[in-house]
Amino acid sequence: MQRSPQLNAKGELQHLLSIEGLPRDILLQILDTAESFVGVTEREVKKVPLLRGKSVFNLFFEPSTRTRTTFEIAAKRLSADVINLNITVSSQTKGESLLDTVANLSAMQADIFIVRHEASGAPFLIARHVKPHEHVINAGDGRHAHPTQGLLDLFTIRHYKKDFSRLTVAIVGDILHSRVARSLIHGLTTLGVPEVRVIAPQTLLPAGVEALGVRVFHDMRQGLKDCDVVVMLRLQNERMRGALLPSAQEYFKHYGLSADKLAVARRDAIVMHPGPMNRGVEIDSTVADGPHSVILPQVTFGIAVRMAVMSIVAGN
């Protein structure tokens, strides 16, 4: 296989396209840099001049509010100029091709493209066609990857659990369609987490998922037993009824995180969710708002992690 398209000739991070294939030291560099930015986000003047004069283009081919906003905040805190483009309602409907859109924006002197696209691999295509000084950050592509979400999940886990080398982490829900799960799994295995579990019915697991280095559980209580970290995934509305699942109620009965199911995990287990949550479908409100939940800190850390990623790629 070719050299990873996200590293430059010196092996530094040129683009962030996927956590898969990233060396452990680059992952740690991002987490450590993010650590230093957490302080910035808590100051009264929440700005550093690292990206002053740089243009960050938020290129969202798929609707998103949360991820786009956190990237925007992160870029602004680095003093960059941010341009938000909601492509779903502009050029795409006029038939402009993905690469034409990017070439046009590139002509407007972009430095960083933040890309969200419904097709797996779209940011790789863009990264192959941008100029050498431009950087692409994947903000979620199809089912493939959502590396900054994976990194903020890793950051959150490290924040609460310190040491990756003795953890048991369970990811619960729609693994089949989840780019969040794929990115997190690669990050956890790269950082040496000894046991990564996925818990889902067969219909929500992709073929050969074990090859990613995970243990598969269908029974949630067995899967959650003695876990340090529980990551719940969002179940999309359109998947709640159909050939994959009979109903949201039945899903909650088997795979919804309730206090009694969580009781089999370790007493100090943390509960995470990439948001937005479906309360009563994949997670019960008492758990989402309970003492184990670190769902809101995840959002806060997400800004520091995105600042770290942007400042690192822009410096390479």
Partner 1 sequence: MRLHIRNGRVVDPASGKDGAGDVFIADGKISAETGKADRVIDAKGLVVAPGFIDLSARLREPGYEYKATLESEMEAALAGGVTSLACPPDTDPPLDEPGLVDMLRRRAKALSRARVYPVGALTVKLEGQVLTEMGLLADAGCVAFSQANAPLADTQVLWRALQYAATFGYPVWLRAEDAWLAKGGVAHDGEVATRLGLPGIPPFAETIALATLLELVRATRARVHVCRLSTAGGVELMRRAKQEGLPVSCDVAIHHVHLCDMDLGYFDSHCRLEPPLRSQRDRDALSRGLADGTVDCVCSDHTPVDEDGKHLPFAQAEPGATGLELLLPLTLKWGQANKLGLPATLARITSEPARILGVASGRLAAGAPADVVVFDPAASVNVAPEMLKSQGKNTPFLGYELAGRVRTTIVAGNVVYEQ
The CB-of-115 to partner 1 minimum distance in angstroms stands at 11
Which residue, 77 or 117, is less far from partner 1 as judged by CB? 117
The 131-150 site mask, x for binding partner 1 (CB under 8 A), equals: ----------xxxxx-----
Count of residues touching partner 1 (by CB under 8 A): 27
Preceding omega of 276 cis (within 30 degrees of 0): yes
How far apart (Å, rounded) are the C-alpha atoms in residues 258 and 283?
Answer: 6
> What whole-number distance in Å separates Cα of residue 316 and Cα of residue 310?
10
211 scored as a contact of partner 1 (CB under 8 A) = yes
Residue 116 binds to partner 1 (criterion: CB under 8 A): no
Q: How far is the CB of 44 from partner 1 (least distance, A)?
A: 41
Q: Does 306 bind partner 1 (CB under 8 A)?
A: no
**Nearer CB in complex with partner 1: 38/212:** 212
By CB under 8 A, is residue 75 in contact with partner 1? no
Q: What b/e string do you get for 60-99 counting C-beta neighbours within 10 Å, with b at 16 or more?
A: bbbebeebbebbbbbbbbbebebeebebeeebeeeeeebe
Query: Which range, of 40-48, 122-130, 229-237, 245-253, touches partner 1 by CB under 8 A?
Result: 122-130
In the set 49, 53, 132, 208, which binds partner 1 (CB under 8 A)? 208
User: Which residues are within 8 A (CB) of 188 and not within 5 positions of it... i.e. 6 or more apart?
Assistant: 154, 164, 169, 196
According to CB under 8 A, which residues from 250 to 279 bind partner 1? none
| Smallest gap from residue 283 Cβ to partner 1 (A) | 24
CA atoms of 159 and 161, how far apart (whole Å): 6
2 binds partner 1 (CB under 8 A): yes
13, 14, 15, 20: which one binds partner 1 (CB under 8 A): 20
Q: Is there binding between residue 212 and partner 1 (CB under 8 A)?
A: yes
Q: Which of 172, 181, 186, 98 is nearest to 143 (CA)?
A: 181
* Site for partner 1 contains 244 (CB under 8 A): no
Q: Determine the residue type at 196.
A: V
Residue 251 exposure: Cα atoms within 13 Å on the Cβ side: 30
Least distance CB 121 / partner 1 (angstroms) = 3
Asked if 189 interacts with partner 1 (CB under 8 A), we say no
Q: Does 124 bind partner 1 (CB under 8 A)?
A: yes
Instruction: Give the footprint of partner 1 on this chain (CB under 8 A).
Output: 1-2, 5, 20, 97-99, 117, 119-122, 124-125, 141-145, 179, 182, 206-209, 211-212
